[in-house]
Structure 1
């Protein structure tokens, strides 16, 4: 078993990490790190458990430790830290020899840091060797993308063969993406908010890195552009988005559907990987967050309403669980890929 720690363990994504890792066949939770005010106390005392499953027995009495490398007994750490804290803390852990699988945005776009979705660009893990050589680290930082970016890019991967020219996307994002206290109830009930700070920029830049080509030294970004509009809606979990994909040749809805159905990233040997990365819904009113977010234990992306658009474009809707597929589950899947590739 590989010893793992969780940074930011008391927060929304930190709790999802615990849920995803409890009873994991490869990883054992040996450290939970949080703020100084929580350190030194049992986890069940300081964490307000907010998930719909019981707090796992294996972490109830685990003493919370400070978020410092010398306090964390682990070989691998999962980071649920805010970006402003992650920028330094994650680097400190990597310098100390630990591998950091980060959900934070702080390091995603650094040229020597892998930004990875295992179904999309596993070869980008080769940047770890570049990173270690450049920074003289024994550890490493590996990141997963923004939650809405993950949903979209998994569906774009099987469409790359058609020659993507540009992408327009409009998101309807769940309130859990902002954290438990992120959106006041009186702001979102009977309302929607047509702005999520920095979200649109992340979708527009991260997508190009994820779908770019790695030449052994660096990633050359994908040769198209993305235009995003992001909205917060009154849904608990599950990000939904409408996507307009324009291609440089004629593509039919039938070909797109067939590409989705045949998409096989060959990750069945990874414990967190779903049986189907993409699930195609035939109903005219699906996918829906409440109905479809837990498909594949929250790790599958559901698509529907695949139809022809204007000027060689295809329109469709995709949806996935933002704190599992789009956050904690994504980092755990990255860690499983790291073990498979021999980096752990």
Structure 2
């Protein structure tokens, strides 16, 4: 068993990490960290548990540690980070310098030139950037990121369509409130309402997508030249980001060609990887968050509503934003790091 830890274990994504890791066949939770206010308390007291399954017995009485390299046992092989980006940018480097490999959901440094931004089914080879990172930074550890929850919903479908020549992408998102954290959007803001702006979200989708779809040259990532424009909206859905995508393509595929591209797109042989990666619906009103967010145990991407347009295709896609879009994505990256010998 690989011994792992969770940085920021008491927050919303940290709790989802606990849920996913507590029953994992290959990972054993060996360390939980949080703020100094929580350090020293049993996890069941430090975390206001909000996940839809009971708090696992295996962690309930485990004492929470300070989020410092000195506090974490040195026999921990892999750390999962769900820290707020403002905290992560201060502390993640310290863990990497101390020799820990960090699979991080935090948004800081996703677009840094020497930091792999990875969706295993899309760009697993980008992990080779770790060698460049270690050479440049002098680390024994490593820092790997997964993308933003809205980006990770769309990019596997774009990767499947790239065979037709991606030219330009427009996306409008309908994002669940859980993406803002438990206290991120008040009920008075979101009930009977839609908020047509999520700070920083459009930029993340527009940049992270191009890095993920890029090619590793041996020393750097050559970003994809697709032009991505995003409009991000918060809607009164608990979980599951639904996205309307317009993809302009060099070729002129039929609807049947697009469905085949989605259905044939290869997954990964990893414990948390869904099969298939992209589940398709011919119905024009699918996917829907309440019906489809738990496909593939919350790790699949759903796609449907495919229509031809004068320049390409329009379709809808959906993924569970705190499983596939956050904690599950980091766990999947951790499984890839283990399988490919980076731990």
> TM-score, structure 2 length as denominator?
0.98
Q: Which residue of 2 aligns with 1:330?
A: 329
Counterpart Cα distance in 2 of 1:308 and 1:299: 27
Aligned counterparts, 1:273-312, within 5 A: 273-310=273-310, 312=311
SS state of the match for residue 245, structure 1? Answer: strand
Residue equivalent to 1:148: 150
Residue 249 of structure 1 deviates from its aligned partner by 2.2
Give the RMSD, CA atoms, in angstroms: 0.7
Determine the C-alpha separation between the residues in 2 that align with 1:4 and 1:333: 13
How big is the shift at 1:3?
A: 1.1
Map of 2:318 onto structure 1 = 319
Once the two structures are superposed, the pairs formed by residues 28-177 of structure 1 within 5 Å of their partners are 28-73=28-73, 74-177=76-179
Q: How many matched pairs?
A: 341
Contact persistence 2:210–2:223 (CA under 8 A): yes
Query: Which consecutive unaligned segments of at least 5 residues does structure 1 have?
Result: none
Name the CA distance, whole Å, in 2 between partners of 1:276 and 1:121: 17
Instruction: For 1:280 and 1:251, locate their aligned partners in 2 and report how far apart those are by CA, in whole Å.
Output: 17
| C-alpha contact (below 8 Å) 2:242/2:289 kept by paired residues | yes
Corresponding residue to 2:259 among 244, 257, 261: 257
SS at match of 1:120: helix
Post-superposition Cα deviations, 1:296-325, rounded to whole Å, max 9, x if no partner, equal 000000000001112x21000000000000
Q: CA deviation at 1:211?
A: 0.3
Tell me what 1:10 maps to. 10
Q: CA deviation at 1:250?
A: 1.5
Equivalent position to 1:237, from 232, 236, 239: 239
Where does structure 2 lack aligned partners over 5 or more consecutive residues? none
Cα distance, 1:88 vs. partner? 1.9
Distance 2:197 2:67 in 1: 32
Is contact 2:31–2:64 with CA below 8 Å preserved after alignment?
A: yes
Q: Is the contact made by 2:293 and 2:319 (CA closer than 8 Å) also made in structure 1?
A: yes
Whole-Å Cα distance in 2 between the matches of residues 44 and 326 of structure 1?
Answer: 25
Deviation at 1:26, TM superposition (A): 1.2
Distance 2:36 2:281 in 1: 47
